Structure 1
Amino acid sequence: MRGLWVDAFGPGLKTPAQVAQMVSDAASLGVNTLFVQTIRRADCFCNRASVPRATDSDLAPDFDPLADVLKLAHAQGMRVFAWASVTGAGNAAAPNTSPQHVLKTHGPAAGTESWVNRRPDGSYLQGSDIWLDAGIPQAAEYMVQSLLSVVRNYDVDGIQLDRIRYPDGGDWGYSPQALARYRSETGAKGTPLATDPAWIDWKREQITALVRRVVLETRRLKPQVWISAATITYGAPPADLKGFQKSRTYSDVLQNWPAWTQEGLIDLNVLMNYKQDLVPNHIQWFDDWNKFALSVRGKAEVAAGTALYLNSPEISRRQMQRALGAGLGWVGYAYRTPGVDVYKHGQSQPKGFEVLRRSLTQNGGPLTSTTWDVTPPTRYALLGRVVGSAPLGGREVEARSANGLLLASTTTDGNGYYGFVDLPMGQIEVRVAGQRWQQQLSQPGVARAPDLLVKDIGVAPALKQGKGK
C-alpha cells in the first residue's frame, strides 16, 4: 500500500483543475491510494452527504470534489478512501455558514441539546476547534450517519476514521448528557475527577463503541469497503500491550487502536507516525512504533504515515525505506505540504512536490509503481440492539456457540447497539439482560439480529421471618 493524504486546507480539491492536477501528480509519484479529506468539520467536500457542504470561498460552486476524484483516480487504477474527521465539529475562527450545520442546531449555545465536548468548567474550545462528545448518544448517532451517507452515495474504496478520539489533555467528556449517562450506567455519584480510572475507561469505551458501530453498519452496506483509522503514536513507543496502556494514546486521548486491530474492527491501520529524524530519539521511535503496530496487527494491514511536511524529501525517503523494509505500507502527509521547505520556508507546492517525487522514485528511491489489489479479510459478523428500559448503554452482551462456548463479549453503546465483528460461521447465541437469541451465520458479512426488548424488573425484598417461623 502506497498512499498520499490530500487535505482540504489548501489547493488540491477546490476546483476541477486542482483535482485533475492532484490526481496527475499522484500518478506521477506512483501511489496507488488517495486518502481524500471528505468530512472535515461536520461538513463535506462533497454534495451527497447528510452533513452540509464545506464553507470555503475557494470551493467552486456546485462542484463535487469527491465525485471528481473518484472518477479520475479510478481511471488511473488508484483506490480512494474518504477521510473523515469523525469528532470534529467546527472551528470558531472559520465557522460553517449553513443553517443545517451541527453547531447551529446542537452547538455550545443549545443548552440540553448541545452535543459539544466540554471540560469540567464547561469550556469547549481546544485552540479554535470544537469537538463532538462520543459519550452523548445522539452525537454518536449523528457521527455514524454522517459517515454512512458518504458510503451509501459514493463508490469509495474505503473510509478512514480520523480524530476518532478525545481531544488532548485528558480533562474532556464533561458534557451534562455524558455525565448523566455515566452515572446511570455505573451508579457513580457526583462528578468524576479527570484522573478517575473508571471514568477514563468508560470514555475510552465510547470511542471503541463508535468505531464498532461505524464498522458494522458500513460492512452491512458495502462489505468490500476498507475500514481504516489514522492512529495516534504519541511519545516513546511501547514494547508490548502493557506498555501501550501507559502511553498518552491510551490514557490521554483514549484511543485503544491495538484493540481495534485485534478485534477485527479495522482492516487498515495507518499510523500517524509523525517523527523527525533530526530530533533526538525520533529515528528509534519511528521504527519501534512500526514494530509495535505489526506485533498487534491481527488481520489488519499496517502502513506508516509519515510527516512529509516536517522533513526534507531525503529524510522522507529514508523513513519510507525503513517502513517498507519492516513490512509496512506507506502514506505521506500531505499533498499540499510535500516537504518542510513548503511548510515553513516558502517553497512553492509544485516545486516541493517535484523534489519529493525525484527523491522517492529516482536513483533507487523506494517508491515504485505498485499494485495494491488485496481485499479486506472475510468476516462473519453480527449487529444487534437492545431497546426498552434505560439505561441502554453499558449492558454486557455475550456471543456463544451452539454448545455454549463463550466466543466473544462486548457492551452496548449509548443507543443500545452491540456487535461482534469476527465470529465463526455457524449458529450463534446472543445473551443479554437475561434474554437469548439464536442467529445462523451462513455467509460472510454482517447479519442483523432483531431488536431485543429489555425490561428491568426490580427484585422485591425478602419478607422478614417472625419469631417461631
Structure 2
Amino acid sequence: MAKVEIRGVWLPTTDSKVFNSRENIAQAMDFLAQTGFNVVFPVVWNKGATMYPSQLMHQTFNTEINPQFVGRDPLAEVVTEARRVGLKIIPWFEYGFASSYNLNGGQLLAKKPEWTARDSQGNLLKKNGFEWLNALDPEVQDFMLNIILEVVKNYDVDGIQGDDRLPAFPSEGGYDRETQERYRQQFGENPPKNFKDGRWLQWRADILTEFLARLYQEVKAINSNLLISITPNIHDWAYKEYLQDSPTWLKRGLVDMIHPQIYRRDFLSYKSIIDKLVNEQFTDNTLSKLAPGILMKIGSYHISSEHLLQAIEYNRGCGIYGEIFFFYEGLRQENNALAEVLRKSPYAQSAVFPSLSDLNQGRVSKKTSSIGQRLLRFLKNIV
C-alpha cells in the first residue's frame, strides 16, 4: 500500500530564479518530482502584484502583473509543468493583507488610501517592515477574496494557501475611523489604547475568522475538492501578534491543511513546539491536517542534514504525515545535498498526496500508537 504524505515546498520570488523563465520552472518541477515531492506552493501574490495577468488588478490598480513578468504567465507555466510530472499545485498568497515592504504602502495604498490600516496613533500600520491594508475593512476583504477566486476560477489548481499574513492583521491595528465606530456601536465605548486588551484582541480576531469562513465557503462553492491550506505562525504568539485564531479555525473546520511555521534552527526547539501542538492544539480528528513548515534556508542559514532527518522522523513518530519546506533553493545548495538526503531516506519511497477525505478523517489509531511508541522511548531513556 502506497504511503500517504504531504511533501511540499514553497516557491518564492525572493532569492530564487525559478520563475525567471519557463525553462527554469520546468527544470524545478522535474527536480522536485525526482526528489519525492508531491506538491508545490508557488507564490502568486506579493509586493502588491500578481504572478499572473489579473483582470481585477488591471481594473482596480491599472497593473496587470508583477512588472518583472509582463508578457508571461508564470502561474500558468507552473501549472502546466507541475501537472506534467504529477505534482499538485496550491498557489500561495504570500503578502495576504500586507500592501508593501518598506515602501510606505506602495502602489496599493497610493491608489486606495482609504484602505490604509492605522495604529493607535493614527499612523500607517507597519510591523517588521511590512505596511498593511486594513484587513478588517469589508471592501479590502472583498478585494482579497476576489483575487483568490480569480485564481481558482481561471487555473487548474488543487487549492489555495494563506500564510502569516492571510488571514492576519497586526494586533497594533484597527484604529481607523470605521473600525473604531463598529466597535463603539457594539460595546458603547472606544477601543482600548492597549491593543492587546483581551476583548479587543478577540473581537478583531473574530472578524478575520469570519473572513476565512467566507473564503472557505466561496472556494468550495466553485469546487468542493479544492483545499484550503493555511500556514500561520505558531499559536498563541500568532493570536496575540497577528490575530490568527488557528484553534478556532480547526474547531470550525475552516482549514483542510495547516502548516504552522516552526522555523527553528535546532532540533530540540523544533521538537518542543511539535510536542506542544500535538498535545495541546490538535486532536485525534485534526492531526491529519497538520504538516509543519520547516525552515530549510534563509539568508546565510541552511539546515543541517541531521536536523532535517530528525525533524521528519519526529513528525512521523508523532503521527504527523507530512511537512513543507521553506524554500526550494535550500534543496539545490551544495550540489543538491539536502535533496540527496531526502531521496536516499525519508522520501526514497514515493508517496501519494492525501485526498480531502484523508485530511478530514483523522488518524486516531496512528496517533494513539505513536504516543505509545514515544512512551516506550521515554521509558528506555530513563532506565
Q: TM-score range by the shorter chain?
A: 0.7 to 0.9
Q: Counterparts of 1:366 and 1:84 in 2: how far apart (Å)? A: 27
Alignment of 1:153-192 (within 5 A): 153-162=154-163, 163-167=165-169, 170-189=171-190, 192=193
Equivalence for 2:350: 369
Q: With CA pairs under 8 Å and 6+ residues apart, which has the higher RCO, 1 or 2?
A: 2
Give 1:367 deviation, angstroms.
5.2
Between Structure 1 and Structure 2, which shows a larger proportion of helix residues? 2
Structure 2 residue identity aligned to 1:213: R
Say which SS state the counterpart of residue 189 (structure 1) adopts. Answer: coil
Equivalence for 2:224: 223
Q: Counterparts of 1:71 and 1:62 in 2: how far apart (Å)? A: 17
Q: Kindly tell me: are residues 317 and 300 of structure 1, through their superposed partners in 2, closer, same or farther at Cα, counting changes over 3 Å? A: closer
Alignment of 1:3-402 (within 5 A): 3-9=8-14, 10-48=16-54, 50-51=56-57, 52-56=63-67, 59-85=68-94, 86-93=96-103, 102-106=108-112, 110=113, 114-123=114-123, 124-162=125-163, 163-167=165-169, 170-189=171-190, 192-233=193-234, 247-277=236-266, 281-295=269-283, 298=286, 301-309=289-297, 310=301, 311-328=303-320, 329-338=322-331, 350-352=332-334, 354-362=336-344, 364-366=345-347, 368-375=349-356
Q: Counterparts of 1:352 and 1:188 in 2: how far apart (Å)? A: 59
Preserved contact between residue 278 and residue 287 of structure 2 (Cα < 8 Å): no
Q: Counterparts of 1:324 and 1:366 in 2: how far apart (Å)? A: 12
Tell me whether 63-72 or 189-198 shows the greater mean CA deviation.
189-198
Q: Kindly tell me: are residues 128 and 49 of structure 1, through their superposed partners in 2, closer, same or farther at Cα, counting changes over 3 Å? A: farther
Q: Counterparts of 2:46 and 2:97 in 1: how far apart (Å)? A: 10
Calculate percent identity across the aligned residue pairs: 22
Q: Counterparts of 1:229 and 1:286 in 2: how far apart (Å)? A: 17
Q: Kindly tell me: are residues 327 and 378 of structure 1, through their superposed partners in 2, closer, same or farther at Cα, counting changes over 3 Å? A: closer
Q: Counterparts of 2:49 and 2:278 in 1: how far apart (Å)? A: 32
Give 1:264 deviation, angstroms.
1.0
Say which SS state the counterpart of residue 91 (structure 2) adopts. Answer: strand
Say which SS state the counterpart of residue 356 (structure 2) adopts. Answer: coil
Q: Kindly tell me: are residues 120 and 150 of structure 1, through their superposed partners in 2, closer, same or farther at Cα, counting changes over 3 Å? A: same
Preserved contact between residue 167 and residue 212 of structure 2 (Cα < 8 Å): no
List runs of 5+ in structure 2 lacking aligned partners.
Answer: 1-5, 58-62, 361-383
Higher alpha-carbon Rg? 1
User: What is the number of residues matched between the two proteins?
Assistant: 341
Preserved contact between residue 267 and residue 377 of structure 1 (Cα < 8 Å): no
Say which SS state the counterpart of residue 13 (structure 1) adopts. Answer: helix
Structure 2 residue identity aligned to 1:272: Q
Between Structure 1 and Structure 2, which shows a larger proportion of strand residues? 1
Give 1:2 deviation, angstroms.
0.8
With normalisation by structure 1, the TM-score equals 0.67
Give 1:207 deviation, angstroms.
1.2
Alignment of 1:380-459 (within 5 A): none
Deviations 1:285-331 (A, max 9, x none): 24433454532753862111111114223311221121123222111
Structure 1 residue identity aligned to 2:333: K
Deviations 1:181-209 (A, max 9, x none): 22223322365431332211111111101
Q: Counterparts of 1:264 and 1:281 in 2: how far apart (Å)? A: 29
Give 1:87 deviation, angstroms.
1.1
Q: Counterparts of 2:184 and 2:273 in 1: how far apart (Å)? A: 39
Preserved contact between residue 92 and residue 130 of structure 1 (Cα < 8 Å): yes
Q: Kindly tell me: are residues 189 and 36 of structure 1, through their superposed partners in 2, closer, same or farther at Cα, counting changes over 3 Å? A: same
Q: Counterparts of 1:128 and 1:378 in 2: how far apart (Å)? A: 35
Preserved contact between residue 104 and residue 131 of structure 2 (Cα < 8 Å): no
